[in-house]
Amino acid sequence: MEADPQTRPGKSPRSVTAAEKEQARAVSLRRIGRLFTPYARPLTIVVATIVASSVVALASPFLLRAVIDDALPAQDVVLLAWLAAGMVAVAAVTAVLGVVQTWLSTRIGQQVMHRLRTDVFAHLQRQSLAFFTRTRTGEVQSRITNDIGGMQSVVTSTATAVAANLTTVIATAAAMAALSWQLSLITLVVMPPAVWATRRVAGMRRAITARQQRELADLNVTVEEGLSVSGIQLSKTLGAGPAVVERFTASSERLIDLELRSQLAGRWRMASMSVLFAAVPAVIYLGAGLVPGTMTIGTLVAFTTLQAGLFRPLMGLLNVGVSIVSSLALFARIFEYLDLPVEVDDPEHPVEVDPARVRGHVRLEDVTFTYPGSDVAAVAGVTLDVPAGTTLALVGETGSGKTTLAGLVARLHDPDAGRVTIDGVDLRDMRLADLAAVVGVVSQETYLLHTTVRENLRYARPDATDAEIEDAARAAQVHDLIAALPEGYDTVVGSRGHRFSGGEKQRLAIARTLLRDPRVLVLDEATSALDTETERAVQRAFDAVAAGRTTITIAHRLSTVRAADRIAVVDHGRVAESGTHDDLVAGGGRYAALAA
């Protein structure tokens, strides 16, 4: 299981220019199109359905011309009946095809939305703690809900709308040319100004959409921070409620303005195009009246009917273009998250590790780590050796680097220089799942899910039996407390576990970690919220479960570390001294000063 020692110096991140950021935000239509690649076959069926529906619908104007020019003047009742039946049949067929097309296109769109949501969520799950510490609370939720939700209409209906409108435009234009190519030329006059106006409107709406989504993210942040249990408690104790309401109100008012601007963007331009489109049939009627005998009434009516049928899909096609361009801002925000590099990831060629056979020999070899954005190393040149089955205690003042060292052992961060190993294997060469099975962490900040006590504990090991859950709770000295709850282990803990005291939550967290039965235990101030009597009880439980395990304990109370096999005093990211309790007290150094 030994791995060759290797030094992996950290790479200082290169500064990113504004131009590079803008380039990273650019979204290609080809990339959006690739989202639909897995659904090529159903999309083909949708397109075929649309083409069939458009072709069938084109029969209506020709049936109408036959009614006006042939059946009615000749009073041919049989022909009239067949033509009327044909009109009804055309309507029925197009209606059925429309239902099929809507079902297929909606299903495809929802599957694409599902894939986007799950891909973003799964990718964010792989991000390091550093990403979440520098990202605003609520921003992530806003991207998954507001941004992906905002593109739903585009993803669900855009492909079919383009196909339907484009097919209808082409088929209608061909039918119009067949009726009268001269009148068809008049229709082409409106095309250049329509395309120009659409491009202008699309650009305006894209910019407004980007601002809308940023404002929605701000609103989501305000809700997340202001309406959480901790946020409400903070606002009530500080009297900040009115200020929070004012902040929310201001953000909501800005959204009103942006929505109005979005809906009205280019409205005058598009209204002008509607007037122009309506004027074309009037010109045709005028021309037919000024030059009589050039065409039959049936042809004129059929042509203007086709022309109206052309303008509707043409406007629809232009509006789809506006929707696509404006939605690029949404796709840019989603792809920005999907393109985030994974800072702490599984190795390309992992070392095979059997967690059940790991001894738990932990070594930190000349480890240095600096948090992003900081100029001072949190830990620098730290070397520690923790033989399997022994206990190492880390002590020192707040901010000395103890928790950073614990995070490196659990691979919450990767060192910039040096390496951390377990049984000689660099943690960066182990699968994250294997490492999580080997190293268990109980931190000073306990997080409980809004579900039952049983499910909170089973979160650590989904296949755990009820008996195993209760054994872990007994080891953490919390079984009696749970049993006394109204519904025992099936009691809902409430938001973030606020129904429990700090000490009770920590004992639940301890039980949750013990359920995994890790070979290496990292206890970061795990008993800091416990009273003296409970701390002694939990410490006895730790002593029992730590037998045969490697334990790294961080504590301010020196009473909890006296029995450790080795104590390391950390000062400004470096190990100032180490040894047993008695040796360090006798040495009269920093530990002796802390113990005094």
Among the residues of 129-266, which ranges form H helices? 129-134, 139-142, 148-150, 152-179, 181-187, 191-226, 229-238, 241-264
Question: What is the three-state SS of 519-550?
Answer: CEEEEECCCCCCCHHHHHHHHHHHHHHCCCCE
Q: How confident is the model at residue 586 (pLDDT cuts 50, 70, 90)?
A: confident
Share of the chain above pLDDT 90, in %: 16
Q: What is the CATH number of domain 355-595?
A: 3.40.50.300
Instruction: Give residue-wise pLDDT tens across range 100-144.
Output: 888 888 888 888 888 888 888 888 888 887 788 777 767 777 777
What phi and psi values does residue 155 have, to the nearest 5 degrees? -65, -40
> What is the reported pLDDT for 568?
93
What's residue 21's pLDDT? Answer: 41
Q: Is there a contact between 584 and 553 (Cβ–Cβ < 8 Å)? A: no
Is the per-residue pLDDT at 50 higher than 70? yes
Tokens describing residue 126: 């792989």
23-27, 453-457, 490-494: range with highest mean pLDDT: 453-457
DSSP one-letter code for 490: G
95: helix, coil or strand? helix
**Closest listed residue to residue 564, CA positions, set 393, 384, 406, 362:** 393
Three-state DSSP class for 10?
Answer: coil
- The rounded mean pLDDT for the chain is 78
Q: Which residue has the tokens 């039980």?
A: 511
43-51 average pLDDT score:
83
- Which of the four pLDDT bands, split at 50, 70 and 90, describes residue 3? very low
* The predicted structure's pLDDT at residue 591: 85
pLDDT at 11: 38
Q: Where in the chain is the domain with CATH 1.20.1560.10?
A: 29-206+267-338
| pLDDT bracket for residue 194 (50, 70, 90) | low
User: What's the mean pLDDT in 299-316?
Assistant: 67
3-state secondary structure of 431: coil
First to last CA, the chain: 44
The most confident of the ranges 164-178, 524-538, 557-571 is 557-571
- What number of H helices and E strands is found in the chain? 25, 10
Residue range 178-200: mean pLDDT, rounded: 64
User: What is residue 25's predicted lDDT score, i.e. its pLDDT?
Assistant: 44
Q: What pLDDT, on the 0 to 100 scale, is given for residue 125?
A: 84
Judged against a pLDDT cut of 90, whether residue 45 lies above it is answered with no
Judged by average pLDDT, the poorest of 134-148, 319-333, 438-452, 508-522 is 319-333
Measured CA to CA in angstroms, residue 491 lies from 207, 457, 485, 496 at distances of 49, 12, 7, 14
Range of lowest pLDDT (198-207, 394-403, 458-467): 198-207
Question: By percentage, how much of the chain surpasses pLDDT 70?
Answer: 70
Token pair, residue 146, equals 């507001």
What does the alpha-carbon distance between residue 162 and residue 319 come to, in Å, rounded to a whole number?
10
User: 18: Cβ–Cβ under 8 A, 6 or more apart, which residues?
Assistant: none
DSSP class of residue 478 equals -
pLDDT score, position 120: 87
Question: Is the per-residue pLDDT at 543 higher than 60?
Answer: yes
Res 425 pLDDT > 90: yes
- Is 109 in contact with 155 (CB distance < 8 Å)? yes
Dist. CA 211–CA 593, nearest whole Å:
57
| Residue 477: Cβ within 10 Å count | 22
Say which residue, 64 or 411, is predicted with more confidence. 411
- Nearest to 334, CA basis, from 15, 162, 118: 118
According to the model, what pLDDT value does residue 416 have?
Answer: 93
Token pair for residue 556? 């301010």
Please give the structure tokens belonging to residue 478. 């919390």
The predicted pLDDT at position 561 comes to 81
pLDDT band at 291 (very low <50, low <70, confident <90, very high): low
Q: Alpha-carbon distance 522 to 510, whole Å? A: 11
The pLDDT of 465-486, averaged and rounded, is: 88
579 by DSSP, 3-state: which?
A: strand
* Greater model confidence, 309 or 553: 553
Phi-psi domain of 293 (left: phi exceeds 0; alpha: psi -120 through 50; beta: other): left
Can you tell me the distance from the alpha carbon of 162 to that of 169, in angstroms, rounded to the nearest whole number? Answer: 10
Strand partners, 367: 382
**Residue 382: per-residue pLDDT:** 94
| Residue 227 dihedral angles phi and psi, to the nearest 5° | -115, 5
Report residue 550: phi and psi, to 5°: -95, 130
3-state secondary structure of 574: strand
pLDDT of residue 279: 67
Full-model pTM: 0.68
What residue spans in the chain does CATH classification 3.40.50.300 cover? 355-595
pLDDT value at position 6?
40
29-206+267-338, what's its fold?
ABC transporter transmembrane region fold (1.20.1560)
Give the least confident one: 114-128, 144-158, 220-234, 242-256.
Answer: 220-234
Query: Which residue has better confidence, 513 or 365?
Result: 365
